[in-house]
Amino acid sequence: MDQTALTPERLDQLTDQLVTAIKTVFDPEIPVDIYELGLIYKIDVSDDMDVAVEMTLTAPGCPVAGEMPGWVADAIRTVPGIREVAVELVFEPPWDVSRMSDEARLELNMF
């Protein structure tokens, strides 16, 4: 087994850094970051500091569908120590407004 396994504390710290980085990516049509919109379904970090993300879009026909995974990967690469980044676009389960955070709902006046 790898001698440099991530401790739970380090993983928590790294996850916070990854979320902060992901929050710099915005849907160009909605003034809210994609994390608060609920577009990030999963973030996995290996002991080797490789990151795998599953994300979706607000709609399958989103005009930036081809670009947004790259934006997310670029944002994640700003976190020190990260090696490989893989961002997978998934459409199951489908995104809906219930996935949005309270912060996003406030921003969009959806209360």
CATH of residue 14's domain is: 3.30.300.130
Q: Are 65 and 89 in contact (CB under 8 A)?
A: yes
Domain with 46 in it: 8-92
Is 36 among the domain residues? yes
Is 62 among the domain residues? yes
Overall pTM surpassing 0.75 (yes/no): yes
For the chain, 111 residues long, the average pLDDT of each consecutive 10-residue run is 74 96 92 95 95 93 89 98 96 93 91 71
pLDDT at position 1, please? 41
Number of domains observed in the structure of the chain:
1
Tell me whether residue 35 is exposed, middle or buried, using C-beta atoms within 10 angstroms of its C-beta: 0 to 12, 13 to 18, 19 or more. buried
What ranges make up the beta strands (E) of 3-111? 40-45, 51-55, 85-89
pLDDT at position 31, please? 87
pLDDT at position 2, please? 46
Token pair for residue 68? 């947004």
H helices within the chain, ranges in order? Answer: 8-22, 68-76, 102-107
Is 2 among the domain residues? no
